[in-house]
Amino acid sequence: MSFWETLTDNVLSQNLWQLAGYLTDANKRIYWVYLLGALGLALPVFWASQAPKTLKGLAGFLFPASVYRHRSVRHDLGLWIVNRFIRVGLLAPVILTMVPIALGTTEVLEWAFGPLQHLALSATTVAALFTLMLFIADDFTRFFLHWLLHRVPLLWDFHKVHHSAEVLTPMTIYRSHPVESYLYACRMALTQGLVVGLGYYLFGPTLTMQDILGANVFVFLFNLMGSNLRHSHIWVSWGDTLENWFISPAQHQVHHSEERRHWDTNMGSALAIWDRLWGTLIKASEAGEFKFGAGGKVEGHDTLAGLYLTPFKDAFARLKPRRVSAKAE
């Protein structure tokens, strides 16, 4: 076997193994514990449905053939696998990294405000405050980038890949264009770097995060409470009162409606307060009936290659100068 064949085999096997590791990593949405949490929330919905109360009926309710045999699901899986190789091979060297941002943030704060005597707080208090800071900053920046992806036409060309899903499954979370994935990766590094830098300035070098199995405790609880149902056919609403504060699975399903009036709503991840502030919140009870998608068949998004290439084509078309016809005299 040649050097290049050996290298290709090693890269392939390593990345496939890491993809399989998504099921055992608490920082991944499809971690098996989160999937069990989604199942626990889905069971009452199944019991209240008209489906036969048998194991076969449960399987048909959870995994209907009309959803899981749909072409859209194959595209979700294809994007998940191919994007992994693109990220490792092409994007990793140009993604922002957290450490220099954190160091720079601390230096700027010391330059602007002088060295700070670190706040005299217990280790438990510091850990709680730092964990909360990370969660709130991460949730807000996720919302804001998501808002930009909808509001900026050039960015919408790439985000439309996610919205072109005609059915939703937990794997739809990975249905994204590499350009969008790159933006989210840089967002994460920038957010964590700023928060770590601020935390170091305020609390000193003994920063710790309260976690469960390596995941931020708030993120863990969010994922456990049905995050995988957000991309599914199973309708779970928290009710009007709670949906003022937290985005329910049903609210995110409304965000995936094919009706244009729903596209720019419920753009938050966990907290609904950002949507309330921006005027983009809609409760599940207000949505009415709808289908999933980006407004019917999206041209160029019906093949895996099209999902990668069409956004570039559409974006370049927007940037291309248009001729202005001279007015007849």
Residue 179 lies in a domain: yes
Q: Which tokens belong to 157?
A: 């060309």
- Compute the average pLDDT of residues 154-182: 94
> For the chain, how big is the Rg over CA atoms in Å?
22
Percentages helix, strand, coil for the chain (3-state, rounded to 5) are 65, 0, 35
The answer to whether residue 73 sits within a structural domain is: yes
Residue 99 lies in a domain: yes
Q: What is the pLDDT of residue 8?
A: 39
Which pLDDT value is given to residue 17? 57
Q: How far apart are the first and last CA of the chain?
A: 73
CB 71, CB 165: distance < 8 Å:
no
- Which residues make Cβ contacts (< 8 Å) with residue 50, sequence separation at least 6? none
Query: Is the pTM above the cut of 0.75?
Result: yes
**What total of structural domains would you count in the chain?**
1
Write out the H or E segment, with its range, that includes residue 215.
strand 215-216
pLDDT at 37: 95
Mind giving me the DSSP string for 11-75? HHHHHHHHHHGGGG-TTSTT-HHHHHHHHHHHHHHHHHSSS-SSHHHHHHHHS-HHHHTSHHHHH
Please report where in the chains the tokens 């729903």 appear, as a residue: 262
Task: Work out the pLDDT band at 5, boundaries 50, 70, 90.
Answer: very low
What pLDDT was estimated at residue 181?
A: 93
Strand positions, DSSP E, the chain: 211-212, 215-216
In tens, the pLDDT along 186-231 reads 999 999 999 999 999 999 888 888 988 889 999 999 999 999 999 9
Tell me the average pLDDT across 235-254. 95
Boundaries of domain holding 40: 23-316
- The residue assigned the tokens 């056919």 is 233
Q: Could you tell me if residue 12 is inside a domain?
A: no
Residue 3 placed within a domain: no
DSSP codes, 257-283: BSSHHHHTS---SSBSHHHHHHT----
Express each pLDDT in 248-263 by its tens digit.
Answer: 999 999 999 888 788 8
Residue 17 lies in a domain: no
Residue 298 lies in a domain: yes
**Greater model confidence, 301 or 179:** 179
Average pLDDT over residues 224-247: 95
What is the C-alpha to C-alpha distance for residues 100 and 212, in angstroms, rounded to an integer? 26
Q: Tell whether 199 is covered by a domain.
A: yes
